[in-house]
Chain A
Amino acid sequence: MRKSNDFDGGIDFMSMKSNQTSSKLNVLNTPKIFTILVDDVVVIKNKIVVNIGQIVLRGQVLALGYKNIAPMHSPASGLITQITNEEFKFFSNKRYSVINIQSDGKDRWINRTPIHNYKDLSVNKIIQFIYNAGIVGLGGAGFLSSKKLKYSIKKVHTLVVNAAESEPYVTSDDCLMQNFATEIVQGCQIVMWILKIKFVLIAIEDDKHLAYIKVHDAINHLSGFEIRKIKKKYPSGSSKQLIKTLFDQEIPSGKHSIHLGIILFNVATIFSIKRAILNGEPLTERIVTLSDKDALYQKNFLVRIGTPVKHILLENNINFKSNSIILGGPITGFIVDNVNFPILKTSNSVLFLKSSLLKYELEQPCIRCTMCSRACPMNLLPEQLYFYSKSRDHDKSKEYSIQECIECGICEQVCPSNIPLLTYFRKEKLKINKIILKENLSTKFKKLFLSRQSRLRSLESINENIILSNSILDKKFEENLILDKKIENLITNKSQNIRKVELEAAINRAKQKQKLNKCLIDRQ
C-alpha cells in the first residue's frame, strides 16, 4: 500500500529559505520608466487601446484581452512614451510588443469601485469583474482565472488553496500569508460563493510554521475551512502532485483536476481576486522575492508589474554586471540576458548568482543509469525521451507521452552526466505542438478542397443533364448548343492568345520595375 500523503519520485532540496526575513514585507520605490510586455497576438488583433503621448492613470486598461490572454493595466500614472515591437529572449522565440510608461510619481488611481455586496450580483457578472481586473494564475502557469471559474461552475465540490512553495529560495507566498491571512480567507469566501463550495483545503509545506499559525488563527472560528501540512519535497506545488498527496487520486492524462471535482488556486491568485472585488483594484502589483545564492540576502518586496529587473537590483545596491540573474525559481526559471526585462505577472522571484557559478559543465553521453526515471514525479522515462527527441523521432516521443511532462526539471538536477534534459523536452514539446497544428490545418484544407470539387462536379452534371434533355426535345436546339460550344472554344483560344500578350506585357513591366529599382539603388 502506498502512503496517502506522498507521491512517486521527486527530491528533497535544501530549502534555502530564511524564516526571519520572510515575515517582513518591504516596499520598493517606483521606477521612472515601466516596460510592459504585451503578447504579439494582441497587437495583430488591434487590441491595444492607448496611443503614444497619452496620459494614463494607475489601473487604466492598456491592452484588451484576447482568448487566453488577460487584459493589461497601467501600473502607475504617467505618460506613454513609446509602443514598439521588440524581441525579448524567452523559452520560445515568441515576439512581444513593448509599452513604455514614464511615471509622474503622483500615483493617481482611476475611480475604484469596490463591491462589498457581491452576493447581490449575478455569478457571471462577478466572473466578468475578475476577467476585467486581468487576473491570471500567479503560481506560474498564467492561465486565466475567470475561464477556470466559468468552466467549473456546478462541477466542483472542494477548493484547494495551493500554498506549497516547493521551489528553493522562493518565499513570496509565505510572506503573503503572514501579512494578509485575513484577506486570503475573504478571497476564499468569494470563490466559495461563486462556485457554491462548502469545503476549502489550504495546503502548506511543513517548513512554514509562522504562516501556518497565522492562517490557522484566521480560520479558527470559521466552518468549512481546513488547513493541512504536507511533506517538504519538490515538486509538491505542482497541481497533479498536490492532488495525489492530499486526496490519493491521480488525474488521468489529458484531463484537469476539475474532472475530479477539485478546483485549485494559488494563494496569490486568491489574494488578487479579493483585491479585485472588495477593493476594486486591478492586478498591478505582486510580491517578489529577491535572493542571492546563499540565502543570506533574502527580502520580499511589493513590486509593480512592469518594473525592470535592473531597477530592483539598483535599489538594493547590487552590481548586476558581475552577477547573472534568474527570473523565477532556480529550477523552472530562466536566465535574463537583457537587464531591462520587466517583472511579469507570473514571475515570483529574482535570483542573483555570481556569474562563475552559472558556467555549465560539458554535456556528456548518457550512460543509462536510470536515475532520472526513478526521480521523475510523473513516472515517465526521461532517458528514453531524450534519445527520441535528439533523433527527432516525434511519433515515438508522442507515444511515450512527452506531453505529460510538467517541466519540473528534477531529471536535469539528478543527471550525473550534465545533460540539459529540460531544454530538450521543451523544444520537443513545441515541435510536437506545431506538427499537430499543421495536421489540423491540412485536414481542414483537404475538406475545403473536396467540397469545392464536389460542387464543380455537380455543376458539370447539371450541364450534361440539360444537354441530354434537349436532345430529346429538339434537334435545332442541340445544333444551337453545339454552335455555342464552338464559339466558346474560339473565345478560349482567343483568350489564350490574349493571355500570352498579357504575360509578355507583364514580363516587360517587371523588367522595367527591376531597372527602376536598380537605378534607385545606384543613386543611393
Chain B
Amino acid sequence: MNYVSHKFNIDSDPIVDKIDALLPQTQCAQCNYPGCYAYASAIGNDGESIDKCIPGGNEIVFKIANLLNHDELKYKNLCSSTNILQKIVIIDENNCVGCSKCRLVCPVDAIVGSYNFMHTVLPSMCTGCGLCVPLCPTNCIKEKKILYDSLY
C-alpha cells in the first residue's frame, strides 16, 4: 500500500475536480465559500447542499445532481435564473483616489493600477463577482449588465 500510494500519488480529489469543472468559476463567494473550488470541495467532502450557486442557476444544479446521483425531483421547484446577461464592474475613473483596495480583492486580477494612481477594470477579464463594490471608499464602482455577444 505504501509503495502504491507513493507511486500513484494523487494530488487532487477527482470528484471535487469534476464538480469544480461544472461550476461557472466566477469566484463571487455568493455561496458563502471563498471560491468555486472551496465550494466544490465542500460538496464533495462535507455533503454541502448543491443548490447554492446563484450565477450557475438551475442547469448547474441538475448537472451536479446527475453527477452525484442525487434525486433531481428534489430541486425541480428552484427558481430559474436566465443567464443571457453577464455583469461587469466599471470604475468611475474621475473619482478614483487610488487606494488599491479593490485591486487586492479581485480574484482574477482584472483590476489594473497601483497605489495613489487611478485604477481601471479590464472588461474582458472581469467575472462580475462584485467583491470590489462594497470596499470602495468613494463609491465609484458600479455594476453594469452586458450581453454575452458584445464581449467577443
User: Which residues of A are at the interface with B, using a C-beta cutoff of 8 A?
Assistant: 40-41, 44, 434, 437-438, 441-446, 448-449, 451-452, 455, 506
Asked if A434 and B25 make an inter-chain contact with CB atoms under 8 angstroms apart, the answer reads: no
Q: Which of B69-77, B92-100, B143-151 lines the interface with chain A? A: B143-151
User: Which of B83, B125, B150 lies in contact with A41, CB distance below 8 A?
Assistant: B150
Asked if B107 and A452 make an inter-chain contact with CB atoms under 8 angstroms apart, the answer reads: yes
A40-B147, A438-B83 known; A445 vs B26 contact (CB < 8 Å): yes
Pull 27 A–B residue pairs with CB atoms less than 8 Å apart, ordered by A. Answer: A40-B150, A44-B146, A434-B84, A437-B148, A437-B152, A438-B148, A441-B24, A441-B86, A441-B151, A442-B23, A442-B24, A442-B25, A443-B25, A445-B26, A445-B127, A446-B36, A448-B109, A448-B125, A449-B27, A449-B35, A449-B36, A449-B108, A452-B107, A452-B108, A452-B109, A455-B109, A506-B134
> Which residues of the other chain, A, contact B26 by a CB distance below 8 angstroms?
445
A388: min CB distance to chain B, Å: 15
A365: min CB distance to chain B, Å: 23
Asked if A44 and B109 make an inter-chain contact with CB atoms under 8 angstroms apart, the answer reads: no
B75: min CB distance to chain A, Å: 15
Chain B residues with a Cβ closer than 8 Å to the other chain, count = 24
9 residue pairs, one from A and one from B, having the closest CB atoms: A448-B108, A445-B25, A442-B25, A446-B25, A452-B109, A44-B150, A445-B127, A442-B24, A41-B150
Could you tell me the distance between the alpha carbons of A449 and B27 in the complex, rounded to whole angstroms? 8
Within 8 A of A (CB), among B100-152: 107-110, 125, 127, 134, 146-152
Q: Which residue of chain B is the closest to A455 with respect to CB atoms?
A: B109
User: Which residues of B are at the interface with A, using a C-beta cutoff of 8 A?
Assistant: 23-27, 35-36, 83-84, 86, 107-110, 125, 127, 134, 146-152
Asked if B25 and A41 make an inter-chain contact with CB atoms under 8 angstroms apart, the answer reads: no
B60: min CB distance to chain A, Å: 10
> Which residues of the other chain, B, contact A445 by a CB distance below 8 angstroms?
24-27, 108, 127
Could you tell me the distance between the alpha carbons of A443 and B127 in the complex, rounded to whole angstroms? 12
Could you tell me the distance between the alpha carbons of A66 and B152 in the complex, rounded to whole angstroms? 11
> Which residues of the other chain, B, contact A455 by a CB distance below 8 angstroms?
109
Q: Which residue of chain B is the closest to A451 with respect to CB atoms?
A: B109
B20: min CB distance to chain A, Å: 8
> Which residues of the other chain, B, contact A444 by a CB distance below 8 angstroms?
125
Could you tell me the distance between the alpha carbons of A446 and B25 in the complex, rounded to whole angstroms? 6
Could you tell me the distance between the alpha carbons of A441 and B107 in the complex, rounded to whole angstroms? 15
Question: Of A40, A445, A455, which is in contact with the most chain B CB atoms at under 10 Å from its CB?
Answer: A445
A441: min CB distance to chain B, Å: 8
Asked if B149 and A41 make an inter-chain contact with CB atoms under 8 angstroms apart, the answer reads: yes
A434-B84, A438-B24, A438-B83 known; A449 vs B148 contact (CB < 8 Å): no
B102: min CB distance to chain A, Å: 14
> Which residues of the other chain, A, contact B107 by a CB distance below 8 angstroms?
449, 452
Other A-B pairs, 11, CB within 8 Å; known A437-B148, A438-B24, A449-B35? A41-B150, A434-B148, A437-B152, A438-B148, A445-B24, A445-B27, A445-B108, A448-B108, A448-B110, A448-B125, A451-B109
Could you tell me the distance between the alpha carbons of A242 and B110 in the complex, rounded to whole angstroms? 48
Question: Of A40, A44, A446, A452, which is in contact with the most chain B CB atoms at under 10 Å from its CB?
Answer: A446
Q: Which residue of chain B is the closest to A45 with respect to CB atoms?
A: B150
B109: min CB distance to chain A, Å: 5
Q: Which residue of chain A is the closest to B129 with respect to CB atoms?
A: A445
Q: Which residue of chain A is the closest to B148 with respect to CB atoms?
A: A437
B126: min CB distance to chain A, Å: 9
Could you tell me the distance between the alpha carbons of A452 and B134 in the complex, rounded to whole angstroms? 22
Q: Which residue of chain B is the closest to A445 with respect to CB atoms?
A: B25
A109: min CB distance to chain B, Å: 34
> Which residues of the other chain, A, contact B109 by a CB distance below 8 angstroms?
448, 451-452, 455
Could you tell me the distance between the alpha carbons of A41 and B35 in the complex, rounded to whole angstroms? 32
Could you tell me the distance between the alpha carbons of A448 and B122 in the complex, rounded to whole angstroms? 12
> Which residues of the other chain, A, contact B150 by a CB distance below 8 angstroms?
40-41, 44
> Which residues of the other chain, A, contact B86 by a CB distance below 8 angstroms?
441
> Which residues of the other chain, B, contact A434 by a CB distance below 8 angstroms?
83-84, 148
> Which residues of the other chain, A, contact B134 by a CB distance below 8 angstroms?
506
Q: Which residue of chain A is the closest to B152 with respect to CB atoms?
A: A437
> Which residues of the other chain, A, contact B149 by a CB distance below 8 angstroms?
41
